Amino acid sequence: MTILAWKDTLKKVKELIDKAPTGYVLDYEVQPEKSMKEALITVTGKTFVAKAKISKVTPYEGEKNVLKKKKDKLKTLVMIEKIEEIQDDIVNYEEVSGGSIDKILSFAVLAKKEEAKIEQREPMESKLSSDVKSVLRQLEKDGESLPVKIAERLAEAKKQYKIDGKDFDKLLKATIEKYRETGVDPYEAVGIVGAQSIGEPGTQMTMRTFHFAGVAEMDVTLGLPRLIEIVDARKTPSTPSMTIFMSEKARGDEDRAVALARSIESTTLLDVADIEVNTTESYVLIMLDKQKMIERGLKREEILPKLKKIRMQKTTITEEENEIKLSLDEPSFKKIYQLYENLKTFQVKGLDGIKRAIVKFDQKAKEWIIYTQGSNLAGVLELKDVDFARTKTNDIIEISQVLGVEAAREAIIEESTSTLHNAGLNTDIRHLMLVADMMTFSGVVEAIGRHGISGKKASVLARAAFEITSKHLLNAGLIGEVDRLNGVAENIIVGQPITLGTGAVKLSYRREE
């Protein structure tokens, strides 16, 4: 038994229930089978909302008085005798049909009913080696504690250099002292120290763009302009780029890397053809360049179906060997120029946003890597032969949209660290982590400016001290805002000690009677 299934809207399902028995036209081809007597309709792609009894499935030939799924590109006519809503939240095919099914014909992704499984994860301690556990036990005995990563390094050193007894106790003591030094004192001005640690070396950075990864044809913004881009949370970087790593099977295969680079590189009609417009006879002539087509890995047969999708009323397409002629049935000077302009930027191959793709061999890793000018993370992650775990883009906002805010936070840390290190500057990663946390703690990536974090400060005086003073003070006066003077800037403005370090402690003298 074969069941036909398709994805639809609730509005169409209700219309079918009201008008059944009726004919219904689908927008994809179905090969009719004798055993096909039932149909299922899904709205979400998982749960069926309606069950129908069908009498006939035939190719659509323009029949009238039938309901249609869409207005155009209709291919299959299904005669529905009876249709009813499924009340229960059922996903299992057998439950719906009441029998076994050989196959289900559908373009929708229909998942079988599965129970959710909750797996109990092993505690971290159980995964630690006996050497690390003994170091942690020794620390606990002395009433001290260190992160597991440091304990692992100590256990490694103990084993490698054969440190025992009093020598290891000395090492442990020195490590604890050093670890305590890295801590932040209560009421320390971490924000100001972080800003100074990034701002001071930032003034020494060069204001220019560099060639990217040794590829002369690619430019990428580095130095101070790149740092400003990151903290301003720009929607698109001035030079978006991607580094695409190949999957394990395809890493050493140059042909596969080149084929992938060709398939993602955005190719417009103007890249592979010359376009001429004839206003008197109202037509546009596309003259395909064979050599350019071969270079871009394109065939004439691939271009024609795409040209038919151009949204232009009453257009006739005629073709010769290397020429395609698009003529308007109703001559119009404005429309033919509009068509000409549309064709110049019309994309025939590749992913949106990726202008160029270059394949390079990494001698260290012994693998082929693709570098792109332009970025389209969502599109690239859907492709075969791509290593999703290592592929990266320098567009932080795109990362937050595709992979979420935690990935964007990691990207901010990595991008700002590499920008500073490329300029030969060494800033402690924790200052950059603080900036990344401030930019992403609200759940979205926000700029550190008047349109982001600084513009949303609770203190009126702190906002006024940053930018557009009069506007902030006027607005605060109109709505009667109160400033509690809890921060740094507002206390400096009014000439009070700031609530940091010794200023955070209030001393009072109680005289004995």
Rounded Cα gap, residues 305 and 67, in angstroms: 27
> CATH number of the domain at 457-503, please?
1.10.150.390
Which residues, in sequence order, are CB contacts of 71 under 8 Å at separation 6+?
none
Three state DSSP letters for 256-308: HHHHHHHHHCCEEHHHHEEEEEECCCCEEEEEECHHHHHHCCCCHHHHHHHHC
Instruction: Give me the residues paired with residue 67 across strands.
Output: 24
Cα gap 237→366, rounded to integer Å: 30
What pLDDT does residue 312 have? 58
- Cα 443–Cα 448–Cα 452 angle in degrees, nearest 5: 60
Q: Which residue in the block uniquely carries the two structure tokens 């053809």?
A: 273
Correct CATH for 241-265+354-393 of 1.50.10, 1.20.120, 3.30.70, 3.40.50 = 3.30.70
Q: Is 332 helix (H, G, I), strand (E, B) or coil?
A: coil
Among 163, 172, 177, 162, smallest CA distance to 135 is for 172
Q: Tell me which DSSP letter residue 424 carries.
A: T
Q: Where in the chain is the domain with CATH 1.10.150.390?
A: 457-503
Tokens 């229909």 belong to 110
pLDDT of residue 417: 94
Mean pLDDT by 10 residues, the chain (513 residues): 79 86 84 78 75 87 82 84 74 53 53 52 77 91 90 92 89 93 86 90 70 59 88 91 90 88 84 77 77 75 72 67 74 74 78 88 89 91 89 94 94 94 88 95 90 86 88 92 89 90 84 81
- Phi, psi dihedral angles at 294 (to 5 degrees): -65, -45
- Kind of pairing between the strands at 241-245 and 48-59: unpaired
CA distances from 228 to 297, 415, 443, 448 (A): 39, 12, 21, 10
Write the CA distances from 208 to 222, 229, 423, integer angstroms.
Answer: 7, 14, 11
How many helices and strands in the chain, by DSSP H and E?
A: 20, 19
Per-residue pLDDT, 97 = 55
Written as six digits, the tokens of 135 are 């170091």
pLDDT recorded at residue 482:
92
pTM of the model: 0.65
3-state SS, residue 395: coil
Distance CA 21, CA 52 (A): 10
Tell me which of 3.30.1360.140, 3.40.640.10, 3.20.20.70, 1.10.150.20 is the CATH number of domain 267-349. 3.30.1360.140
Parts of the chain belonging to CATH 2.30.130.30: 2-105
**Helices assigned H by DSSP within 161-203:** 165-181, 190-202
| Cα gap 439→442, rounded to integer Å | 8
Listed in order, the ranges of the chain carrying CATH 3.30.1360.140 are 267-349
Position 111 scores a pLDDT of: 43
Which helix (H) or strand (E) segment holds residue 96: the answer is helix 93-97
State which CATH number among 3.40.50.2300, 1.10.540.10, 2.60.40.10, 2.30.130.30 fits the domain covering 2-105: 2.30.130.30
